[in-house]
Chain A
Amino acid sequence: MDIFKFIAIGFIGTIMVVTVKNVKPEYSLFIALATGAIILIALSNKILEVINTFTQISDKSGLPPGVFNSILRIIGIGYITEYASSVCEDNECQSIAKKIQLSGKIVIFIMALPIITSIIDIIGGLI
């Protein structure tokens, strides 16, 4: 099962962070970043499968392709923002983590505007 691989990588990373924390605290941030990156890269081909099935489903449904692309982008931004803000929270920078989350929300809101307009057009067409 693949989940054990990710858990193992996570544990290795945490053990390394703890060992290096009392020797050299600055390096624990780098190890946390590297472990997060490894896990996300290892996850990427699984995410790709999910997205391909969703694209097929959305092609069959009546949605214009632009809408699904925006939804996909929003999910992507959600992932990256969560990754960055959780790493910042780990290293006692809650304020920076909050700023990253705020910027993620605003960028997502800007991306969501065309979806809202296209959905309203579809609804208008139905009535």
Chain B
Amino acid sequence: MSVDIIFKIAGVGIITAVINNILEKSEKKEIATLVTLAGLVIVLLMVIEMIGGLFDTLRAIFRLY
């Protein structure tokens, strides 16, 4: 199973943190909050797709219809 999704999520987290710092330094706080929200939404979509896949596999295995 691919482990790179963990690194992707960590990457998005760190990048949003860096961008936040830059934006705060240049006095654009409202854009910083938008960037945090965008990062959260992207990561949320990735994780939800994974959890969906996990639940489908478990449902198929345990015949949990």
| Residues of A bordering B, CB below 8 Å | 9, 12-13, 16, 19-20, 23-24, 26-27, 30-31, 33-35, 37-42, 44, 47-48, 51, 69, 72-73, 75-77, 79-80
Count of chain B residues with a beta carbon within 8 Å of a chain A beta carbon: 30
**Interface pair A30/B61, CB less than 8 Å apart:** no
A16 cross-chain contacts in B, Cβ below 8 A: 6-7, 9-10
B43 cross-chain contacts in A, Cβ below 8 A: 27, 30
- State whether the Cβ of B34 lies closer than 8 Å to any Cβ in chain A: no
Of B14, B16, B40, B50, which is within 8 A of A34 by CB?
B50
**SS of A interface (majority):** helix
**Interface pair B13/A35, CB less than 8 Å apart:** no
B63 cross-chain contacts in A, Cβ below 8 A: 69, 72-73, 76
- State whether the Cβ of B31 lies closer than 8 Å to any Cβ in chain A: no
Given contacts A24-B14, A30-B9, 10 further A-B contacts (CB under 8 A): A27-B9, A27-B43, A30-B46, A31-B6, A31-B10, A34-B9, A37-B50, A38-B50, A47-B61, A73-B62
